[in-house]
């Protein structure tokens, strides 16, 4: 009824997603989730993309969920997560959850802490392997960066 064409556009996706987080600001976070689901970049999530997204997020395998989370954080899709990308996502997560962004809880400080733990080769970017391995080895990071993989 809501999607007679079988496609879900970004506006409708955000509208639906906001119902799960009525007290938070969901728009920014939804943009990143939507982009990750919209694998062909059409501006719509079709039924096939939706089924793939549901399949990945419903999986029991934490590695698969973390690989999906990596693709959400890798905004420019260059195969790495840079600090600026992670800060954008962290900012959106804080808005979504209504988190305080001051002091030691600021997104910038959290991103620096994350990189100090995960960036094994100190190249100022996280490969998929560094991200997945880092999350699998650290419960706190996994819960923070990919709560569905816990």
Topology agreement, domain 7-58 and domain 62-149: yes
149, two tokens: 């993989």
Please write the tens of the pLDDT for every residue from 70-114. Answer: 998 999 999 999 999 999 998 888 888 888 888 888 889 999 999
Q: Does pLDDT of 2 surpass 60? A: no
Domain residue ranges of the chain, discontinuous segments joined by +: 7-58, 62-149
37 vs 118, residue with greater confidence: 118
Which residue blocks in 1-150 are alpha helix, DSSP H?
Answer: 10-18, 27-37, 47-58, 62-73, 83-97, 107-118, 128-137, 139-145
Distance CA 41, CA 35 (A): 7
- Second CATH level (architecture) for the domain 62-149: Orthogonal Bundle (1.10)
- Name the class of domain 7-58: mainly alpha
Distance CA 88, CA 133 (A): 22
The single-letter DSSP state of residue 149 is: G
What's the pTM?
Answer: 0.77
């Amino acid at each position: 009824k809501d999607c007679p064409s079988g496609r879900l556009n970004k506006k409708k996706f955000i509208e639906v997603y906001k119902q799960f987080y009525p007290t938070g600001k969901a728009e920014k976070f939804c943009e990143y989730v939507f982009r990750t689901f919209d694998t062909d970049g059409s501006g719509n999530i079709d039924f096939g993309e939706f089924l793939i997204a549901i399949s990945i997020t419903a999986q029991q395998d934490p590695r698969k969920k973390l690989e999906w989370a990596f693709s959400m954080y890798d905004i420019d899709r260059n195969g790495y997560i840079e600090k600026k990308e992670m800060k954008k996502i962290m900012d959106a997560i804080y808005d979504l959850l209504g988190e305080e962004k001051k002091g030691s809880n600021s997104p910038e400080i959290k991103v620096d802490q994350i990189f100090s733990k995960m960036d094994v080769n100190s190249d100022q970017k996280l490969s998929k392997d560094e991200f997945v391995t880092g999350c699998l080895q650290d419960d706190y990071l996994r819960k923070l960066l990919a709560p569905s993989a816990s």
